[in-house]
Amino acid sequence: MTEFAHTDVAVVDDPSAGVEPVAGAGSAGPQRRMPLPDFARLLLRNPKSAFGIAVFAGIVLVSIAAPLLTHGDPTVPNDLPGQAPSRELPFGSTDQGYNVYTQVLYGGRLSLLVAGSATLISMAIAITLGLVAAYSGGWIDDCINLLTNIFLVIPGLPLLIVISAFLTSTGPATMAVIIGLTSWAIETRILRGQAMSLRNRDFVLAAKVAGESTPRIVFGELMPNMLSRIAAGFAFVFVQAIFLEAALEFLGFGDANKVSWGTILFWATNNSTLLQGEWWHFVFPGAAISLTILAIVFVNYGIDELSNPRLSSKSPRKRRRRRMLAGILWPRSAAA
């Protein structure tokens, strides 16, 4: 597991930010490029992340296959209003006669799409800023670092609320953009820290000497060596995005006519279904959001364990025994 020695996910927030990591060139041992499939295979072997990936894949599949799993239209109130879950209505129906089951299945599409797009925007910013800052150093690094630190201390949800207050309409696309533009700071900081430890490696210096341009070195040399950390970043930002999207819609800042997990919850509280005892109206969409976040949290948990084997909850003795057994069965992989 030497490959993971540098992907320290459990970043300790140092108050004296910008402390130069020990860029000891030779001492760290040979670092070989890690292609993503290897990383993915390790993730699937870890029970926690394998569970997380399976659950998340299931949620995505169910959302995509929504038309196959339900016959109703989520925007047409076809059923008897206020019905408790039953065989015909697995998740019950709302006060207006919407089928909650249909709404939750279709709602996942919009929620996942908005959160996914926001994550792409946010990670694109984080990768660019973090890597350019770490590679360039000097005043560019200072500026990016200052900007990152400022965005870290401005609370995200209130900022989003204020932006939505000024916007005349916040459709799904707008929402993805504003979430993406406000949630890149933490990952920028983490990626910058990790890129700094790679900055003085031989392959980067060689590329520099060979006269490669900065974008080429950053995206062609640095980035491929950080893929595992970047993958973890995607998972981390996605959790934020799915939470922020649902929160904004729940608070009434989304397009309430579109069906997503957040807007179902918005209607559930707006129609005071709570007081009438219609628990199914908010429990199922809320559970969908929580399950999605839980799945990703498990993936992150697995990544943490892979990068720092000490964190594994197995007792060291048991682990040693297992490793010995693995060494006998698969001599090659255990040597890694």
Partner 1 sequence: MRFILRRLTFYGIAFWAALTINFALPRLMPGSPLDGLLLRYQDVIRANPSILPTLKAQLGSKDEPVWQAYPHYIGNVFTGDFGFSTAKGVPVSDVIAQTLPWSIFLVGVGFLLSFALGTTLGMFAAWRRGGFTDNVLTPLMMALQSFPAFFLSLLAVYFLGLRLGWFPIQHAYSNETNVGLTWHFLGDAFRHAQLPILIIVAISAGGWLLGMRNVMINTVAEDYISLAQAKGLRDRRVMTRYAARNAILPPLTGFASFFASAVGGLILIEVVFSYPGVGLTIQQAALGHDYPLVQALLLLLSLCVLLANLIMDCVYAVLDPRVRSG
Q: Which amino acid, residue 105?
A: L
Of 310 and 332, CB closest to partner 1 = 310
State which of residues 165, 328, 329, 335 lies at the interface with partner 1 (CB under 8 A): 165
State which of residues 161, 207, 227, 334 lies at the interface with partner 1 (CB under 8 A): 161
Nearest to 111 by CA among 292, 269, 252: 292
Angle at 233 between CA 263 and CA 55, to 5 degrees: 55
Do the Cβ atoms of 239 and 289 come closer than 8 Å? no
Taking the C-alpha atoms of residue 135 and residue 200, their distance in angstroms, rounded to an integer, is: 9
Angle at 85 between CA 80 and CA 89, to 5 degrees: 55
Q: Does 59 bind partner 1 (CB under 8 A)?
A: no
Of 58 and 215, CB closest to partner 1 = 58
To the nearest whole angstrom, how small is the minimum distance from the Cβ of residue 165 to partner 1? 4
Taking the C-alpha atoms of residue 133 and residue 188, their distance in angstroms, rounded to an integer, is: 9
State which of residues 64, 76, 311, 336 lies at the interface with partner 1 (CB under 8 A): 311
State which of residues 162, 206, 324, 325 lies at the interface with partner 1 (CB under 8 A): 162
Query: Taking the CB of residue 144, how many other CB atoms lie within 10 A of it?
Result: 20
Taking the C-alpha atoms of residue 203 and residue 198, their distance in angstroms, rounded to an integer, is: 9
State which of residues 139, 310, 331, 332 lies at the interface with partner 1 (CB under 8 A): 310
State which of residues 133, 232, 241, 289 lies at the interface with partner 1 (CB under 8 A): 289
Reduced to 3 states (helix: H, G, I; strand: E, B; else coil), residue 88 is coil
Q: Does 290 bind partner 1 (CB under 8 A)?
A: yes
Q: Does 152 bind partner 1 (CB under 8 A)?
A: yes
Tokens standing for 94? Answer: 């709302």
Taking the C-alpha atoms of residue 267 and residue 75, their distance in angstroms, rounded to an integer, is: 13
Nearest to 193 by CA among 149, 163, 234, 236: 149
Q: Does 174 bind partner 1 (CB under 8 A)?
A: no
Q: Does 179 bind partner 1 (CB under 8 A)?
A: no
Q: Does 275 bind partner 1 (CB under 8 A)?
A: yes
Q: Does 251 bind partner 1 (CB under 8 A)?
A: yes
Q: Does 1 bind partner 1 (CB under 8 A)?
A: no
Q: Does 20 bind partner 1 (CB under 8 A)?
A: no
DSSP codes of every residue in 266-326: HHHHHTTTTTTT-THHHHHHHHHHHHHHHHHHHHHHHHHHHH-GGG-SS-HHHHHHHHHHH
Residue span binding partner 1 (CB under 8 A) among the ranges 122-130, 135-143, 151-159, 196-204 = 151-159
Q: Does 236 bind partner 1 (CB under 8 A)?
A: no
State which of residues 247, 264, 299, 303 lies at the interface with partner 1 (CB under 8 A): 247
State which of residues 66, 186, 190, 204 lies at the interface with partner 1 (CB under 8 A): 186
> Alpha helix (H) ranges present in the chain?
36-45, 47-64, 66-69, 100-136, 138-153, 156-166, 172-182, 185-198, 202-209, 214-216, 227-250, 261-270, 280-307, 316-329, 331-335
Q: Does 55 bind partner 1 (CB under 8 A)?
A: no
Q: Does 146 bind partner 1 (CB under 8 A)?
A: yes
To the nearest whole angstrom, how small is the minimum distance from the Cβ of residue 142 to partner 1? 12
To the nearest whole angstrom, how small is the minimum distance from the Cβ of residue 68 to partner 1? 27
To the nearest whole angstrom, how small is the minimum distance from the Cβ of residue 135 to partner 1? 23
Half-sphere exposure of 251 (CA within 13 A, CB side): 14
- Binding residues (CB under 8 A) for partner 1: these are 10, 12-16, 146, 149-150, 152-159, 161-168, 186, 239, 243, 246-247, 250-253, 265, 268-269, 274-275, 277, 279, 282-283, 286-287, 289-290, 293-294, 297, 301, 304, 308, 310-311, 313-316, 318
